[in-house]
Amino acid sequence: MQHGLRVGGSVGVSLKDKKVFDMAKVQQSDLTCDRCGESVNREETFCRSCGTVFSDQLRCSVHHSVEAAGVCVICSKPFCKTCGGDTNKIFLCDPHFAEYEVHEGMARVFGCTDNVQAQFVTTCLEQAGLHPFLYSRMSNPGADLVAIIGPRNFGRHPIVELKVLLPFSEVLNAKKTLSELDLDK
């Protein structure tokens, strides 16, 4: 049984809809995740963008007898509610929830208050074939506000931190690249 999918923009398929089109002719791109709205291939058992599970057959990778509540968007492994959870409508396993911040559908892999260092890390990740995005809450990422106002923390990271973000599917490759360069922070 599949759930969490929309066919042709509406939830489920009514008898009226079956008369209008033949289900065999529905293209794969007509399926979208109810949770995040991303296109999903018919064969997929979960949404790669948010971790929503579409199959009752998926089991937790730790507790094999328990149905999966979601699939971690970073490691692509299914987990139950005990082993994972949601952050910003994205499902992460507990280890990745503790390790990564989620911003706009991407994960923070590196952060610092030095613009030159942040640009260097971004360039290294691009050269490794990844797609980094440099994010800052400051209006001008090049401004050295830390020298003016001093560092201030909000949670685990400074407020004026420059964050290097990557799509979830590239996070593990980025971690390896940063570790090889001794830049894993």
Which string of DSSP letters, residue by residue, matches the chain? -B-SEEETTEES--HHHHHHS-GGG--GGGEEETTT--B--TT-SB-TTT--B-BTT-B-SSSTTSBPSEE-TTT--EE-TTTEEEETTEEEEHHHHHH--EETTEEEEEEES-HHHHHHHHHHHHHTT---EEE-SSS-TTS-HHHHH---EETTEETT-EEEEEEGGGHHHHHHHHHHTT---
* 93 within a domain of the structure (yes/no): yes
Q: Are residues 33 and 54 in the same domain?
A: yes
| pLDDT of the residue at 155 | 53
User: Which range of residues forms the domain containing residue 92?
Assistant: 5-97
Mean pLDDT of the chain: 80
**Contact criterion met (CB below 8 Å) for 32 and 39:** yes
Q: Are residues 23 and 92 in the same domain?
A: yes
Q: Residue 132 sits in a domain of what CATH number?
A: 3.30.70
Share of the chain above pLDDT 70, in %: 71
Q: Are residues 109 and 56 in the same domain?
A: no
* 150 within a domain of the structure (yes/no): yes
Q: Are residues 91 and 109 in the same domain?
A: no
Among residues 64, 80, 97, the one where a domain terminates is 97
Q: Are residues 93 and 134 in the same domain?
A: no
Domain count, the chain: 2
At 51-98, the pLDDT tens digits run: 999 988 999 999 999 999 999 999 999 999 999 999 889 999 999 999
At 112-150, the pLDDT tens digits run: 989 999 999 999 999 999 999 999 876 444 455 445 445
Q: Are residues 91 and 18 in the same domain?
A: yes
Backbone phi, then psi, for 173, in 5-degree steps?
Answer: -65, -40
Q: How far is CA 116 from CA 128, 136, 140, in A?
A: 19, 14, 13
Q: Are residues 11 and 87 in the same domain?
A: yes
Q: Which of 35-39, 68-72, 117-121, 152-156 has the lowest mean pLDDT?
A: 152-156
Among residues 41, 65, 97, the one where a domain terminates is 97
Q: Are residues 84 and 122 in the same domain?
A: no
Q: Are residues 76 and 119 in the same domain?
A: no
* 112 within a domain of the structure (yes/no): yes
* 185 within a domain of the structure (yes/no): no
Q: Are residues 67 and 142 in the same domain?
A: no
Nearest to 132 by CA among 184, 174, 177, 76: 174
| pLDDT of the residue at 98 | 92
Q: For residues 100 and 2, which has the higher predicted lDDT (pLDDT)?
A: 100
- For the segment 46-51, the average pLDDT, to the nearest whole number, is 94
Q: Are residues 83 and 9 in the same domain?
A: yes
| pLDDT of the residue at 170 | 96
Q: For residues 22 and 75, which has the higher predicted lDDT (pLDDT)?
A: 75
Band (pLDDT 50/70/90 cuts) for residue 159 is: low
Q: Are residues 139 and 83 in the same domain?
A: no
| pLDDT of the residue at 53 | 95
